[in-house]
Amino acid sequence: EILPFLIDVTCKHVFLWFVEQEKDPGFWKEWAQRTLKNALNLQDLNKNVAKNIILFLGDGMGVPTVTAARILKGQLNGQNGEETQLEMDKFPYVALSKTYNTNAQVPDSAGTATAYLCGVKANEGTVGVSAAAVKSQCNTTRGNEVTSILKWAKDAGKSVGIVTTTRVNHATPSAAYAHCVDRDWYSDGEMPDEALQNGCKDIARQLFENIPDIDVIMGGGRRSMYPRNTPDVEYPGEKKHNGTRKDGRNLVGEWTDRMKDKVKDETREKQGTSFHLFIYNKDLFSLNPNNVDYLLGLFEPADLPYELERNKETDPSLTEMVDVAIKILQKNERGFYLLVEGGRIDHGHHDGKAKQALHEAVEMDRAITRAGLLTSIYDTLTVVTADHSHVFSFGGYTHRGNSIFGLAPIISDIDQKPFTSILYGNGPGFKLVNGARENVSTVDFKQNNYQAQAAVPLSMETHGGEDVAIFSKGPMAHLLHGVQEQHYIPHVMAYAACIGQNKDHCRTNSGSPFLSHISPTLALLLSVKWLLC
């Protein structure tokens, strides 16, 4: 019990030192000069080829969520919070992304995913198809398919992976491999008969058929892979988790058989190739990534649990999944593309549960830190962004160091009741007691599932329409600057990696590489310098 005491005393000492330092104008001037020096170093642009490209997508992680997560991260470490840096805050380049869909001012996660993965803006509710496709109209699919940067990377010989805290066939990941006019067609059990008769495929089926050799897939969504009424292996007594497929197919079994044959073929050419299939969560912790080339990890029937509710003994965190994914993918000498989604930030906000949402955002930032330790800024382009925002805010003239989940220091001058700093523009947190606004001092507003008060009653809180941030580091990261259309993001990433249609700049007239990778030693030194700064 001595160690926690020492940590607590140390944090308080550092906190008091920090507060005293802030009274000295020289403290702020020296801080600014250090920042200026680092900014001047950015004049030496990193124009190397990106061997590896990683996209971290915080679903629903608008700028207010980023700021609140930063404060939460600091407060979890015993600090005020406002002065804390998220890992994404350390990235040298920041831009803004315009998130609208082709038919929506305030977007959804499907149309936005098509933009930042396929490089084409699209209609709300559709994935992997252009704006010529109409939501839920199967006959508008054919001929309007668009491919993603994951496919461009796979076609270039790179390893590719998808890691998400939602279902692997949810809106964000599905745009990486599927072409579907309805984001809710998770399995054929959720599709109308007319769509099936017209030849449209459900998203789970497309995961295994469109790009059959995705090297790493981790997330939830088991029930979409099994025949209807098949009991779940982890929750056999809960019917809501049973399989949903009407076609009787066992997609996991089919993947296993196909991978066995593929591994046999590849083993003839190289030794050590293997595959691994996960069903039970705890299996991930005993995995040796060096012995695995293909990984399918389906850890829940639907979405993974919130970080605050996760069983740390059996349920993998986003950071743990990212760690394993990168260690598997980076064995490919040609590099890799990895899509990582912190998908339950969005779910927390929709439920009005800000504490759940912000802890999800902090966990994604931990995963970003882990990815940075496993890669080099010299040959890895890392981009962090969001698909859209939410009508989430925090204010009320709170004092420095106020708990991000705490009360504002004033009461309403209209109804003379206190209010929390965090509020929503709409959502399930709207509550009236005897015809008046609920008095939050009578409830536990710091509990994990507290629904923050909302101005307009809705069963689910809505997305927000403002621009979202794009943080980037690594080769060609400087191209993500200013205010950009969301569909610009994958084009920059492809350009940096010399994949897809962006290849001409990668060679000189003589045909030799114009942009080159550097030695592993120098890359390691630069990574250490980055972390120290």
Here the tokens at position 426 are 């709409």
Task: Give the Cα separation of 452 and 427 in Å (integer).
Answer: 9
| Structure-token match 């925090």, residue found | 394
Q: Is the pLDDT of residue 15 over 90?
A: no
How far, rounded to the nearest angstrom, does the alpha carbon of residue 523 sit from its chain's CA centroid?
26
- If DSSP codes are grouped into helix, strand and coil, which group holds residue 228? coil
508-521 average pLDDT score: 43
Helix, strand, coil % over all residues of the chain, rounded to 5: 40, 20, 45
Distances in Å between the Cα of 480 and the Cα atoms of 92, 95, 439 are: 10, 6, 45
Looking from the CA of 39 toward its CB, the CA atoms found within 13 Å total: 7
For residues 494 and 120, the answer to whether their CB atoms sit within 8 Å is no
pLDDT band, residue 286 (cuts 50/70/90): confident
244 is in an annotated binding site: no
359 is in an annotated binding site: no
pLDDT band, residue 259 (cuts 50/70/90): confident
478 is in an annotated binding site: no
Catalytic center residues: 109
265 is in an annotated binding site: no
Q: Is the pLDDT of residue 322 over 60?
A: yes
341 is in an annotated binding site: yes
481 is in an annotated binding site: no
Task: Give the Cα separation of 310 and 504 in Å (integer).
Answer: 47
Q: Is the pLDDT of residue 273 over 80?
A: no
More reliable by pLDDT, 526 or 395: 395
> Which of 110, 116, 101, 245 is closest to 182 using CA atoms?
110
Q: Is the pLDDT of residue 489 over 50?
A: yes
User: For the chain, what percent of residues have pLDDT higher than 70?
Assistant: 89
Residue 344 confidence (pLDDT): 98
Instruction: Tell which phi-psi region holds residue 435, choosing left (phi > 0), alpha (psi between -120 and 50) or beta.
Output: left
**Dihedral angle computed from the Cα positions of residues 478, 482, 483 and 485, in that order, rounded to the nearest 10 degrees:** -30
Residue range 29-69, pLDDT digits in tens? 998 999 999 899 888 899 999 999 999 999 999 999 999 99
Q: Is the pLDDT of residue 400 over 90?
A: yes
492-518 average pLDDT score: 71
- Burial of residue 512 (number of CB atoms within 10 Å: 0-12, 13-18, 19+): exposed
pLDDT band, residue 158 (cuts 50/70/90): very high
- If DSSP codes are grouped into helix, strand and coil, which group holds residue 345? helix
| Structure-token match 């949810």, residue found | 170
**pTM score of the predicted model:** 0.92
How far, rounded to the nearest angstrom, does the alpha carbon of residue 133 sit from its chain's CA centroid?
26
More reliable by pLDDT, 275 or 168: 168
Residue range 192-242, pLDDT digits in tens? 999 999 999 999 999 999 998 999 999 999 999 999 999 999 999 999 999
13 is in an annotated binding site: no
Q: Is the pLDDT of residue 171 over 70?
A: yes
Residue range 413-440, pLDDT digits in tens? 999 999 999 999 999 999 999 999 999 9
Beta bridge partners of 245: 227
How far, rounded to the nearest angstrom, does the alpha carbon of residue 92 sit from its chain's CA centroid?
19
Strand order in the sheet with 392-394: 392-394, 422-427, 454-457
Here the tokens at position 476 are 């060609």
Q: Do β-strands 468-473 and 93-98 pair in parallel, antiparallel, or remain unpaired?
A: antiparallel
